[in-house]
Each structure stands twice: as structure tokens, then as C-alpha cells.
Amino acid sequence: MELKKIALNDVHESLGAKMVPFAGYNMPVRYSSDLEEHNTVRNAVGIFDVSHMGEFLVKGPEALDLIQRITTNDASKLTPGKIQYSCFPNEEGGIVDDLLVYCMAENEYMLVVNASNIDKDWAWVNKYNTKGAELQNISDEMSLFAVQGPKTVEALQSLTSVDLASMVYYTFEKGEFAGVPDVILSATGYTGSGGFEIYVKNEDAEKVFHAIMEAGKEQGIKPIGLGARDTLRLEMGFCLYGNDIDDSTSPLEAGLGWITKFDKDFVNAESLKEQKAAGVTKKLVGFEMLEKAIPRSHYEIVNAEGEKIGEVTSGTMSPSLGKGIGMGYVQTEHSKPGTEVFVRVRNKDMKGQVVKLPFVKK
């Protein structure tokens, strides 16, 4: 299958990005080094092009009813300008995808989904759209920039009259940005270092990208690739679909009980209620290595006797902590912070311990 290209593909290549296939798109994985880019976001400001993400519009008097049936969180609590983290549960107790729900206006929402799941999610939303909500898949028309880091407000404020410093986490405003009208400025991100996600039409993407790079020069802004994005999100204990959650993992097992609201009816709610009452048999945990080792996806997690108790879903050498960290599912009795666990690295069991997430405190 031919790789899709994001609107600024050529711009990233001209900046020296190493491009790799990711979720069906040709994407920049790094420009300099993952370590340098990671530290840029933690200490200053960086810009990610994440235009591969998917966006669906859901409108009309039946919009909320549809969203309530297909997502676990309670979207009735949203008012215009507010955002909610949620997931699509499937009929078997797993997760179709995790997503953001934007309340654009009364009876008007935007769902932001993972790039790898755009087609699957679109089919899922349509399958349950039995009451005629108006649906529009605008994924191919939109570009998305994540400008992240402690100096983001300083870097971006000159480009808009929206008061960025006063915006609360998980809210958004629509306004003029870099001379472009109706840009969505969203106080969200996947790094734990603060910042904004900026949604623009493809035809305005290059103008906005260059304006951001110019405006952030004084703060040392740099383009950042998917490599650093992964280490940044992992330090915060944020799930990555396809690694830490998928069609076979329940939101309760994944520690997403906080977005699973049983006072409303949604797909497979009854069996998830039963799972909650019975208690889960495995849990997604964070762990850090106490010996020099880097945990990797699919490595076995074992106990002191060498018996398998789980599996790593994501792992890396944490640039901020200088030690191996990871996430993985373990049997519930081994999930308490402080519990000793071992990761089997090339047939050698390396000691670690379960820790409370996030790994890096804000």
C-alpha cells in the first residue's frame, strides 16, 4: 500500500528529517537526535507535525446521543470550548481506539482519533449511527501541529490575540493565528510539558508552520520527530494505541476506569460493569529498572522465581531519569507500587520495580 504524505512532507525533508513509514504515513521520526529533541521539549519548546491524526465531525440533534453510545466517558458534561479524553469500547470488552472529544458548539463535536485507526474508527462510528447524526471525515483536509514545552506560550503569543497563558488544560479556542482565521488552539498534548495543539486546513499549514518556527526562534524552537514523542509520552505514562491498549485490552485493565462512566449506556457497558464488580485479573503498570537494562515491547515480565507474570507493552531508556522505564500488563497481585519484578532481557532476568505513574513528575 502506498504511503500517504502529510501536507508538509517536503518541508520536513528539506529540514533534514529522517522519514519513516508510520500508521500508513511517511512521517518525520527525527531531525537531529531523539535525546536532543526530547530535552528541547522538556526544557524549551518544540514543534511536532502530527497531521496524520484523524478528525471526524459529528453534528445535529442526534450527535450527543451517538457519542454517548460509542464512547465510555460522559460527553454530556462537555460545553463549547471543552475537550474530553475518552475511548471507543468494542463488543468484546476491548478498545477500538482512544480519542479526544471536542465540543465545538451545541450539537456539534469533533472526534480526534489515532492515525492507524482512521478507517476502522470511521466504520465503527458509522455502524452505530442509527439515528442520523451528520458525520464528516475531514482527516485528509486538516493539518495538526503540537507545539510543546515550558516556553510554548512565549513562543506563540505574538501570533494570536487569544490569551494563551489563561487557557486551561483540556480547553480550546477558535481564533486568528498567524494571520489565518478560524484556527483551533487546543491546550492539550502528549508530552507532559505543556503546550498547544493547533488545527489548520492543509492549505494554510505551510504558512502557519513557518510562522511558528519564526516566532519561536528566541525560545530555541526546533522541529521534533516521532522518536522523541514516544519517549516524552512514556515518561508521563500515556498509553499508545497498538502498544499499551488495543482491541483485546479493557479500559479497566488499562487504568482507564476514570473515563469509563457507568451512569450512562454505551457499547458493552454491561460486561465491563461485571468485570469491574469481579475485579480485573491483569493491570497495566509502570515500572522502572533497578539494573542497567532497557525494557522493550513484548519482553516477558517475571517474578523472582522466573515465572511469567506479564509482558512489556512499551519501554525505553528515559532521557530525563537516565534509567530504563516501561509499561506492561501484570497479574493484579503484582501490580502494587513497590512490587519487585524482573524483565527478561536476552534470557537474563533484570530487576525492576512497579512505580506510580507518571515516571516524571510535572
Task: Point out the annotated binding site for substrate.
Answer: 197
The bridge status of strand 25-30 relative to strand 18-22 is antiparallel
CA distance 178 to 351: 51
Buried b (16+ CB within 10 A) or exposed e, 244-270: bbbeebbbbbbbbbebbbeeeebbbbe
Shortest CA distance to 325 belongs to which of 293, 303, 279? 293
Tell me, what DSSP letter sits at residue 171?
B
Three-state secondary structure readout of 286-306: EEEECCCCCCCCCCEEECCCC
Omega before 61 within 30 of 0, i.e. cis: no
Parallel, antiparallel or unpaired: strands 4-5 and 134-137: unpaired
- Of the CA atoms within 13 Å of residue 38, those in its CB half-sphere come to 21
Phi, psi dihedrals of residue 257, rounded to the nearest 5°: -60, -30
Neighbours of 169 (CB within 10 A): 9
Binding residues: 197
The edge-to-edge listing of strands for the beta sheet with 83-89 is 83-89, 95-105, 108-113, 54-59, 134-137
Contacts by residues 100-107 (CB-CB < 8 Å, ≥ 24 positions apart): 100/188, 101/67, 101/71, 101/73, 101/75, 102/172, 102/184, 102/186, 103/75, 103/78, 103/79, 104/57, 104/80, 105/80, 106/80, 107/59, 107/60, 107/61, 107/63, 107/64
DSSP conformation class of 219: G
Q: Cell 456539534 identifies what position?
A: 108
